[in-house]
Amino acid sequence: MQIKATTTSLLDWTGDLLAVGIFEGETELAGDLAKLDDKLAGIVKELIAEEEFEGKAGSTITSRVGNKNPVRKIALVGLGKLEDLKLDSWRSAAAAIARLAAKEKSLGISLPVGSEAADKIAQAMAEAIVLALHQDNRFKSEPEDKQTKLETVDLIGLNGQDGAVAKGETIASGVILARELVNAPANAIDPVAMAETAQKLAEECGLAIEILERDACEQFEQGMGAYLGVAQASDLPPKFIHLTYKPDGTPKKKLAIVGKSVTFDSGGLNLKVSGSGIETMKMDMGGGAATLGAAKAIAQLKPDVEVHFICAAAENMISGHAMHPGDILKASNGKTIEVNNTDAEGRLTLADALVFAEKLEVDAIVDLATLTGACIVALGNNIAGLWSTDDSLAEQIKTAAESAGEKFWQLPMEEKYFEGLKSQIADMKNTGPRAGGSITAALFLKQFIKDTPWAHLDIAGPVWSDKPDGIDNKGATGFPVRTLVNWVTS
């Protein structure tokens, strides 16, 4: 499929499906759309009247035009109210149109440019088209006949934005990598396979890579006892993955992205029972998947920023070697942790990964993790939690997320809540009281950062969708690759 920012006008475009955006409450035709209606013998006005189309956000209607016309089908897509228009409005509209056109060969999209810069709109639309049409049929012996037939997409009115289109397609490729890693079952993506994926990514995109095996993790600082404690029950070895992107010149900043990479979470000896979602725990490496997806996109976009991508990959399993509730683990910064719940394992792997990241002397660290069900209770399935020790960094993430169309809500680092994590026999426990569970998880992670500006993203809800929504299809969403890429490239 080729996406082009075309010089062809709305009135001159020819092909299978022409889609036009209309604002809510502005269904009286004017300008080029009125001229198009005249050219098509009034079919646009007739379609609006018959379907009682109002232009509400996400609404679509289509009609055949006839073989004697230069356009075979016409589609109208609602953009919502003009005053509510934002960048994600173009993204959502383009996704809806792409799904309508999946069985066509050619598509023309004409959406009003509005107040946003044309390059941002072109990028957002390109992202949406690629992601809305993405299908993951790798594990089906006979995939359903739902493959897209779309060959060309013309973005009408966005002439000269080919670079922005290419950027959108590049970012979408990183999102798709993250989606496919999360969609894959745990017998396909385990710590070894995740390391192999990172190795292949390094070779294809020119990234430096080191993979610390168990022995190296034991020798790092005072030993990665927290991370290795999680990994010790599995028959598969842990793989501590460190990818590095460096620009050609002197980097303006050095950043680190750390993703939780538990490729399957049984809960350990605090076993997840049936009905607890254990069958979905292949997605507990959603943070690591997004980290690798961001690495793929950033390596191709080549910003003048040095970025370290860290994934402490492991399985949380059950065996005679499993860590017990009540065990005390020692992290690589020397802090000791009483394990009062083996199912709060993600923060243990992140603890040592954060220590490792800070030793790289970066300017900022962002970690992302499917960390707590408490965050889903607080914010639902569509909004991720954000905590930070640095107001400037938090604002950067929020700005990047707004542009990406990915939703975050900042929650407080309420230091008083750390009282619930105190242990009588160790420096801390790995879980606290049920109340404020996502906040205490963030406070736990904070113990493994000294001075570096740091943000924690709890993405437990948005990494998975049970139904198509906007640019997301059912299954893994690739959240928040777009936010991470925007943050780094800005």
By annotation, the residues acting in catalysis are 272, 347
If you write DSSP's letter for every residue of 130-155 in order, what string do you get?
Answer: HHHH----TT-SS--S------EEEE
Question: In sequence order, which residues have a C-beta less than 8 Å from that of residue 52 and are 6 or more positions away?
Answer: none
Type of residue numbered 430 = N
Pairing of strands 2-6, 152-156: parallel
End-to-end CA distance of the chain: 28
Q: What's the rounded Cα separation, in Å, for the pair 333 and 351?
A: 9
416: left (phi over 0), alpha (psi -120 to 50) or beta: alpha
389, burial (CB in 10 Å: exposed 0-12, middle 13-18, buried 19+): middle
Q: What's the rounded Cα separation, in Å, for the pair 195 and 241?
A: 6
Q: Are 196 and 209 in contact (CB under 8 A)?
A: no
Q: What values do phi and psi take at 245, rounded to 5?
A: -105, 130
Q: Are 338 and 348 in contact (CB under 8 A)?
A: no
If you write DSSP's letter for every residue of 330-344 in order, what string do you get?
Answer: E-TTS-EEE-S-TT-
Q: CB 422: neighbour CB atoms within 10 A? A: 12
Q: What values do phi and psi take at 306, rounded to 5?
A: -85, 130
SS3 category, 69: coil
SS3 category, 161: coil
Output the six-digit token pair for 263: 């490729």
482: left (phi over 0), alpha (psi -120 to 50) or beta: alpha
SS3 category, 19: strand
Query: In 370-463, which ranges are E strands?
Result: 383-388, 407-410, 428-429, 454-458
- Which of 233, 471, 241, 473 has its CA nearest to residue 352? 241
